[in-house]
């Protein structure tokens, strides 16, 4: 089930020839362009994209999630980051130059364009695929150098892509209040309250997870993300939904959206085809009163953003829906808890199975990933994985975004550390958990590193902090123990997690990198996942999904109130990997308390499901440490 | 010696009438303006300002360091922050509205202007006093509302200020290599290296401490800050210094700057009057080659910034001098160490004296501040204080930027917590130290809070972190113990400290507020000063100045190297205030190790100076805890 990549390079001579012809073809553009940018992503700036939006893969062969291709009359170059250097170099032929982002000597896209373009060049880009803020930066840099960035309305890749897959239009499902906790009508009303508060009369919703959350609908247009292609424009008394009309024909969807018999006039949904958002937004803008304001996310596409006249446009870094969605309601929290217990059942089964199977020498990174998916799929309300499983043995574990491929696939043994980072979508919630284990005897150094990572994990998970604290202020807590010994990890500590939605969501996280995050609030759900990676040797990461909850403190300075975290993930942490001498009493108590919770909640479910072997494993793995 | 403020309001009716006349006077402006902004600060954006630059004080009476006054035809308003609400309300008459910054209901200057101005108004400001980045924001906000911000070249306050003090022109002193460690010629050469690296051919120096540091000169134009009014323009082969010419007549200064016989042509200093920087910069800009770049800090005045054509201007948040100055050389580090030992001698004397005097009931906040200054002045190379002493008893300690005034002056007793935050300028270094003590028996709660603050202080001081870490990532370490109990403090944890220069300097610090700071480097010097403030009751703060040094760690991830801090301040921490049960063994060891260092370094100097009483006090106060 893990997607395998072909590792022979794609032959792109003909494709590039076609694209360069299109760059001069008056059918698409009034004047020839000297360069064409193919950004990563889709018109909604999704992290994961549908096959029809994999344009950089089509043109250069590289199929990693992040990559921007630029083609000029003479050159073709692809920018991607350290996760993908090897993969990109193997998948692209020698018509392409790999631009390794993050290396000092690598030019930025702007710098490179300026260095290769003739004077007064025109650089084209599809304004639907480039975000408004990216457009602004790119356009400024090019103008300063005497060039110009131009919007090419027809996508030139689509124009030459003969067998381009159609845009998916999967079945929409209405989860029901049992899973959502709030009706879409209540969500629209709350949103309008926020709009009224800030004197905003319209809001253009472009992020797919925001639309899915708002209307309490899910789809399966994009792998791993239960979303569907749509736009919405919400006014104080209008709701305009842009979605493939045949998806609305199903009686359950009709009824859910009250398409035939709206309860109130201001809750009447007007439906339009997905493609008509542009013209409809133009119509709304044409009718705006002089001081009316319209919200749009500054990460929305340049095309839509520019429809809104500047005087009316209020571009915001996080939308009110993004914020509302981040704070889970009691039903969602209950669902997330249930999903994590079911997910833990699957993982207890997996680890018990691995102990038995590994000595046979037949278990590989890929076969564990498959087995994990199989076990998860046995759980109630399972929908699919929430991201591609990272299943890595020994040195592969040190590659942070590793995915096992047939040519890298290692066999699990009693001699190497094993790291599995995996998660699933259930109707009631989304999971994301990483455990690092050893099936033989870990070395003292492996245990020492694991224990520092554990100390960091606990430092975040047990942290108490005032209301209003932003997640980035907690990032150093996760690193302090590693730092003390001269160690560190080069990624953030946590990301927001959706509820049967995207496994990565804003606006909160725990990272030294982002300072524009919003304060943590009770009800938010984030991951806590410090790690340590010894290149060529092993990787360690320990990840729980945690819920922000109010904390009881001895005092309460300025009545601000305090917060802390409650782990939702309930999978034992392998005791064999811990050097308990390095733990404080408080940390030992945390581990024992956590394992007691795992045993109680997951044990009860294992018992109910009659999974005796896994239950025995759980009981053994949750014995208290001293 | 502590400046006392008059607390009866200044009568401003006449002054405002004059100012409003000036706002319509064609002698100063071509068209009348409807509002005039009087920003805080001087033409160099100094934190402390000379009397001739105290323009907001002249017009409204309020003499706190931070305040912006705006006068319209009908209104007059002053914006200041929470430190000064009481003082401002007492010093201003009822022609003025106090705008309490930081309160939700308080409008910003832009919002207020837009709400009170008639349509199409002109708002004037002296472009020398407003920083370029502030101008940009204000101008944009006003334009969006149909008004305009205009530069008024003649300062209208100066125009109506009859007995305005002259700009100071104090004697310049050359410290000599013994204190500087590097010649100004070497500093200029190093600066040019940085300029060449970034292909910049000119650099306009506007910050007074940067100019003092670069030329190895000090003045006393501004209280507490040993700087002098000047500008400099450094080219790859030019040095232009703008300073009152009579200051250069002194033979020692002439010789120091090699004014008569420069060693090399490119190290020849051209001297110009202070006021001619504008015309000279215009001349330099007029002769720029097409691609030449010129650095200027984005906090420099709007007036100077706008002389540089946009195509040539490279506005930077921190200048290379700011960065170079922050990393102290071995001579400066040695000087800072010596200065802190002498400063500790004075404080040991002070605390020993207080123990004896307080029971008499005659010691007040003001008299302690005076005594501290007297004792410091007995030390070698003493120049003056580095900032106004904060000397506060009981509830006054909870006012973070408190300065004792005759009407608030409390008597020290055996029943209340006493906080003293003070520092001095010595020729070899600058000090800044806060100690919180009790001369009777502190309550359990006071001890508990003090101990949390101490734990936070130690957590920062003993932190080990990788090279490249920015100071803001350490801020939460200082708060974790307070947060655990629901407590916090509403200020940053540390600031950069100059070497016989400003007690507050960039570009580094330890604060949750600034994310634009530069990474910490070995040789930088910052303060570590967490606190806790119980309104109406007591204040606690514990401040050491600390030096960033390389740390030895067990491992060395990616050869990045690690850093930690070495305390330069060596004044005992009162053991009576510590609840040792709340300390870990590591923290107890830190306290004992710190006190051993205090006893060794300061004890030796007390002995050398024959200060027996203070030595006995030091020995008693540095006994190990268990």
What does the pLDDT average to over B142-160? 95
Residue B486 lies in a domain: yes
Query: CA-nearest residue of chain B to A471?
Result: B476
**Which residues in chain B have Cβ-Cβ distances shorter than 8 Å to A584?**
584
Contact flag A484-B464 (C-beta cutoff 8 Å):
yes
* Residue-wise pLDDT tens digits, B64-122: 888 999 999 999 999 998 878 888 999 999 999 999 998 889 999 999 999 999 999 99
Percent of chain B having pLDDT more than 90? Answer: 92
The residue among A417 and B4 whose pLDDT is bigger is A417
Query: CA-nearest residue of chain B to A516?
Result: B515
Q: What is the pLDDT of residue B523?
A: 98
Same-domain pairing of A417 and A532:
yes
- With a CB cutoff of 8 Å and minimum separation 6, the contacts of A282 are A307
CA-to-CA distance for B450 and B482, rounded, in angstroms? 10
Same-domain pairing of B333 and B321:
no
Contact flag B476-A476 (C-beta cutoff 8 Å):
yes
Same-domain pairing of B53 and B38:
yes
Q: What is the DSSP string of B435-466?
A: EEEESS---HHHHHHHHHHHHHHHHHHT--EE
| Helix and strand numbers, DSSP H then E, in chain A | 19, 28
Given A464, A484, A488, which is nearest B484 (Cβ)?
A464
Given B477, B483, B584, which is nearest A476 (Cβ)?
B477
Given B475, B483, B515, which is nearest A466 (Cβ)?
B483
Contact flag B473-A476 (C-beta cutoff 8 Å):
yes
Give residue B213's pLDDT band: very low, low, confident or very high (50, 70, 90): very high
Given A480, A512, A557, which is nearest B488 (Cβ)?
A557
- Closest by alpha carbon to A223, among A27, A363, A53? A53
CA-to-CA distance for A117 and A72, rounded, in angstroms? 8
Same-domain pairing of B293 and B367:
no
Given B476, B557, B584, which is nearest A487 (Cβ)?
B557
Q: What is the pLDDT of residue A4?
A: 43
Whether residue B421 has pLDDT greater than 80: yes
Query: Residue B358: what are its φ and ψ, rounded to 5°?
Result: -55, -45
Burial A110-122 (b: 16+ CB within 10 A, else e): bebbbebbeeebb
**Which residues in chain B have Cβ-Cβ distances shorter than 8 Å to A466?**
483, 486, 488
CA-to-CA distance for A219 and A170, rounded, in angstroms? 6
Local structure of residue B12 (DSSP, 8 states): -
* Residue-wise pLDDT tens digits, B338-371: 999 999 999 999 999 999 999 999 999 999 999 9
Q: Which residues of B touch A (CB under 8 A)?
A: 463-466, 473-477, 479-480, 483-488, 512, 515, 553-557, 560, 562, 584
Q: What is the pLDDT of residue B239?
A: 98
Same-domain pairing of B215 and B138:
no
Same-domain pairing of B187 and B78:
no
**Which residues in chain A have Cβ-Cβ distances shorter than 8 Å to B484?**
464, 553
Q: What is the pTM of this model?
A: 0.94
Last residue of a domain, one of A310, A325, A340: A325
Q: What is the pLDDT of residue A6?
A: 52
What does the pLDDT average to over B568-587? 98
Give residue B3's pLDDT band: very low, low, confident or very high (50, 70, 90): very low
**Which residues in chain A have Cβ-Cβ distances shorter than 8 Å to B557?**
486-488
Residue A137 lies in a domain: yes
User: Are residues A521 and A564 in contact, defined by beta-carbon separation less than 8 angstroms?
Assistant: no
Residue of A197, A484, A579 to mutate when probing chain B, most B C-beta within 10 A: A484
Q: What tokens does B293 get?
A: 């770049």
Same-domain pairing of B407 and B467:
yes
Query: CA-nearest residue of chain A to B462?
Result: A484
Residue A163 lies in a domain: no
* Residue-wise pLDDT tens digits, A260-311: 989 899 999 999 999 999 999 999 999 999 989 999 999 999 999 999 999 9
Whether residue A3 has pLDDT greater than 50: no
The residue among A525 and B408 whose pLDDT is bigger is A525
Q: What is the pLDDT of residue B102?
A: 82
Whether residue B251 has pLDDT greater than 80: yes
Residue B376 lies in a domain: yes
Contact flag B555-A485 (C-beta cutoff 8 Å):
yes
Same-domain pairing of B187 and B301:
yes
**Which residues in chain B have Cβ-Cβ distances shorter than 8 Å to A474?**
476
3-state DSSP assignment of residue B432? coil
Q: How many domains does chain A have?
A: 3
| Residue B510 to chain A, least CA–CA distance (Å) | 12
Give residue A87's pLDDT band: very low, low, confident or very high (50, 70, 90): confident
Give residue B517's pLDDT band: very low, low, confident or very high (50, 70, 90): confident
The CATH code of the domain that includes B599 is 3.90.230.10
Residue A4 lies in a domain: no
* Residue-wise pLDDT tens digits, A477-536: 999 999 999 999 999 999 999 999 999 998 999 998 876 678 999 999 999 999 999 999
**Side-chain-side CA neighbours of residue B270 (13 Å):** 13
User: Are residues A369 and A404 in contact, defined by beta-carbon separation less than 8 angstroms?
Assistant: yes
- With a CB cutoff of 8 Å and minimum separation 6, the contacts of A445 are none
| Residue B116 to chain A, least CA–CA distance (Å) | 19
Residue of B486, B554, B563 to mutate when probing chain A, most A C-beta within 10 A: B486
**Which residues in chain A have Cβ-Cβ distances shorter than 8 Å to B82?**
none
Residue of B314, B476, B537, B560 to mutate when probing chain A, most A C-beta within 10 A: B476
Is the dihedral angle over the CA atoms B521, B524, B530, B536 positive or is it negative?
negative
CA-to-CA distance for B266 and B264, rounded, in angstroms? 6
Same-domain pairing of B410 and B361:
yes
CA distances from A313 to A235, A276, A295, B146 (A): 14, 20, 6, 17
**Which residues in chain B have Cβ-Cβ distances shorter than 8 Å to A553?**
484-486
Give residue A432's pLDDT band: very low, low, confident or very high (50, 70, 90): very high
Contact flag A480-B463 (C-beta cutoff 8 Å):
yes
Query: CA-nearest residue of chain A to B145?
Result: A311
Last residue of a domain, one of A325, A341, A370: A325
Local structure of residue A585 (DSSP, 8 states): H
Residue B6 lies in a domain: no
CA-to-CA distance for B366 and B386, rounded, in angstroms? 17
Contact flag B486-A477 (C-beta cutoff 8 Å):
no
Q: What is the pLDDT of residue B82?
A: 80
Contact flag A473-B475 (C-beta cutoff 8 Å):
yes
Give residue B2's pLDDT band: very low, low, confident or very high (50, 70, 90): very low
Whether residue B434 has pLDDT greater than 60: yes
Q: What tokens does B307 get?
A: 């002389």
Whether residue A7 has pLDDT greater than 80: no
Contact flag B473-A477 (C-beta cutoff 8 Å):
no
CA-to-CA distance for B147 and B225, rounded, in angstroms? 39
Facing residues of B327 across strands?
Answer: B524
Residue A389 lies in a domain: yes
Contact flag B484-A553 (C-beta cutoff 8 Å):
yes
Q: What tokens does A480 get?
A: 């302090």
What does the pLDDT average to over A314-326? 95
Facing residues of A466 across strands?
Answer: A562
Query: CA-nearest residue of chain B to A555?
Result: B486
Contact flag A485-B560 (C-beta cutoff 8 Å):
no
Same-domain pairing of B321 and B331:
no
Residue A560 lies in a domain: yes
Helix, strand, coil abundance in chain A, percent, nearest 5: 40, 20, 40
Q: What tokens does A453 get?
A: 């990572």
User: What sections of A265-319 are H helices per DSSP?
Assistant: 277-286, 302-305
- Average per-residue pLDDT for chain A: 95
Contact flag A488-B476 (C-beta cutoff 8 Å):
no
| Residue A235 to chain B, least CA–CA distance (Å) | 24
The CATH code of the domain that includes B307 is 3.40.350.10
Counting one residue from A and one from B, how many pairs have CB atoms under 8 Å apart? Answer: 67
Is the dihedral angle over the CA atoms A449, A451, A454, A460 positive or is it negative?
negative
Q: What is the pLDDT of residue A400?
A: 85
3-state DSSP assignment of residue B78? strand
Query: Residue B495: what are its φ and ψ, rounded to 5°?
Result: -135, 155
Tell me how many degrees the CA angle A295-A296-A298 measures, rounded to the nearest 5. Answer: 130
CA-to-CA distance for A571 and A431, rounded, in angstroms? 12
Same-domain pairing of A448 and A511:
yes
Q: What is the pLDDT of residue B48?
A: 93
- Average per-residue pLDDT for chain B: 95
**Which residues in chain A have Cβ-Cβ distances shorter than 8 Å to B512?**
473
Largest CA distance in chain B: 76
For chain B, state the CA radius of gyration.
25
**Which residues in chain B have Cβ-Cβ distances shorter than 8 Å to A473?**
475-476, 512
Whether residue A2 has pLDDT greater than 50: no
**Which residues in chain A have Cβ-Cβ distances shorter than 8 Å to B562?**
483, 486
- With a CB cutoff of 8 Å and minimum separation 6, the contacts of B230 are B208, B211, B241, B242, B243, B274
Facing residues of B540 across strands?
Answer: B532
Same-domain pairing of B385 and B464:
yes
Last residue of a domain, one of B325, B355, B377: B325
Whether residue A458 has pLDDT greater than 50: yes
Given A474, A479, A553, which is nearest B486 (Cβ)?
A553
| Residue A534 to chain B, least CA–CA distance (Å) | 9
Query: CA-nearest residue of chain B to A311?
Result: B144
Given A466, A475, A487, which is nearest B488 (Cβ)?
A466
CA-to-CA distance for B476 and A472, rounded, in angstroms? 10
* Residue-wise pLDDT tens digits, A169-221: 999 999 999 999 999 999 999 999 999 999 999 999 999 999 999 999 999 99
CA distances from B430 to A245, A551, B174, B338 (A): 73, 42, 17, 10
Within 10 angstroms of residue A151's Cβ, the number of other Cβ atoms is 16
Q: Which residues of A touch B (CB under 8 A)?
A: 463-466, 473-477, 479-480, 483-488, 512, 515, 553-557, 560, 562, 584
Q: Say yes or no: ipTM exceeds 0.90.
A: yes
Locus of tokens 């309601």: A329
- With a CB cutoff of 8 Å and minimum separation 6, the contacts of B472 are B509, B510, B511, B512, B513, B514, B515, B517
Omega before residue A208 within 30° of 0, cis: no
Residue of A114, A474, A487 to mutate when probing chain B, most B C-beta within 10 A: A487
CA-to-CA distance for A212 and A193, rounded, in angstroms? 20
Q: What tokens does A563 get?
A: 């917060």
Q: What tokens does A44 get?
A: 């909604």
User: Are residues B253 and B172 in contact, defined by beta-carbon separation less than 8 angstroms?
Assistant: yes
**Side-chain-side CA neighbours of residue B329 (13 Å):** 13
Range of the domain at B558: 327-621
Locus of tokens 């996280």: A509
Whether residue A314 has pLDDT greater than 50: yes
């Amino acid at each position: 089930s893990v997607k395998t990549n072909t590792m022979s390079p794609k032959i792109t001579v003909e494709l590039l020839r076609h694209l360069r012809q299109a760059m001069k073809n008056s059918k698409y553009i009034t004047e020839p362009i000297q360069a064409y940018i193919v950004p990563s992503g889709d018109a909604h700036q999704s992290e994961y994209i549908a096959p029809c939006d994999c344009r950089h893969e089509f043109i250069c062969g590289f199929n990693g999630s992040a990559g921007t291709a630029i083609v000029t009359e003479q050159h073709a170059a692809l920018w991607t980051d350290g996760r993908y250097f090897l993969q990109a170099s193997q998948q692209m032929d020698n018509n392409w130059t790999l631009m390794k982002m993050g290396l000092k000597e690598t030019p930025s896209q702007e710098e490179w364009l300026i260095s290769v373009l003739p004077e007064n060049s025109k650089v084209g880009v599809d304004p639907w695929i480039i975000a408004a803020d990216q457009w602004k930066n790119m356009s400024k840099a090019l103008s300063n150098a005497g060039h110009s960035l131009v919007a090419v309305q027809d996508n030139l890749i689509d124009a030459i892509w003969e067998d381009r897959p159609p845009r998916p239009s999967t079945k929409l499902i209405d989860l029901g209040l049992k899973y959502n906790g709030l009706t879409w009508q209540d969500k629209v009303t709350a949103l309008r309250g926020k709009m009224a508060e800030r004197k905003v009369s319209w809001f253009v919703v472009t992020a797919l997870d925001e639309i899915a959350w708002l209307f309490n609908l899910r789809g399966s247009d994009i792998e791993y993300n239960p979303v569907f292609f749509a736009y919405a424009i919400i006014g104080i008394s209008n709701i305009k939904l842009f979605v493939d009309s045949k998806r609305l024909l199903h009686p359950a969807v009709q009824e859910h959206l009250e398409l035939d018999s709206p309860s109130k006039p201001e809750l009447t949904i007007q439906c339009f085809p997905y493609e008509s958002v542009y013209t409809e937004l133009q119509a709304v803008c044409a009718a705006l009163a002089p001081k009316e304001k319209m919200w749009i996310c500054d990460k929305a596409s340049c095309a839509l953003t520019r429809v809104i006249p500047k005087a009316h446009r209020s571009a915001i870094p996080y939308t009110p829906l993004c914020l509302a969605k981040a704070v889970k309601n009691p039903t969602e929290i209950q669902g997330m808890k249930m999903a994590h217990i079911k997910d833990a059942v699957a993982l207890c089964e997996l680890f018990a199975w691995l102990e038995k199977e590994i000595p046979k020498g037949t278990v590989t990174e890929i076969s564990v990933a498959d087995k994990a998916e199989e076990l998860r799929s046995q759980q109630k309300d399972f929908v699919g994985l929430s991201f591609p499983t990272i299943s890595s043995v020994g040195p592969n574990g040190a590659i942070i975004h590793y995915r096992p491929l047939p040519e890298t696939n290692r066999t699990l043994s009693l001699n190497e550390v094993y790291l599995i980072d995996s998660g699933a979508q259930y109707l009631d919630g989304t999971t994301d958990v990483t455990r690092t284990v050893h099936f033989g005897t870990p070395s003292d150094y492996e245990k020492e590193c694991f224990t520092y990572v554990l100390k960091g994990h606990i430092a975040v998970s047990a942290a108490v902090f005032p209301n209003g604290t932003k997640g980035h202020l907690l990032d150093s807590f996760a690193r302090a123990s590693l730092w003390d010994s001269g160690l560190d990890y080069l990624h953030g500590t946590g990301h927001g997690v959706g509820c049967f939605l995207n496994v990565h969501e804003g606006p909160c996280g725990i990272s030294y990198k982002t300072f524009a995050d919003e304060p943590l609030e009770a009800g938010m759900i984030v991951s806590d996942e410090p790690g340590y990676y010894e290149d060529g040797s092993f990787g360690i990461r320990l990840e729980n999904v945690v819920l922000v909850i109010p904390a009881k403190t001895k005092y309460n300075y300025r009545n601000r109130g305090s917060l802390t975290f409650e782990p939702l993930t309930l999978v034992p942490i392998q005791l064999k990997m811990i050097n308990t001498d390095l733990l404080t009493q408080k940390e030992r108590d945390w581990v024992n308390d956590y394992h007691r919770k795992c045993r109680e909640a997951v044990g009860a479910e294992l018992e109910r499901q009659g999974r005796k072997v896994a239950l025995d494993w759980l009981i053994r793995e949750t014995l208290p440490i001293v």
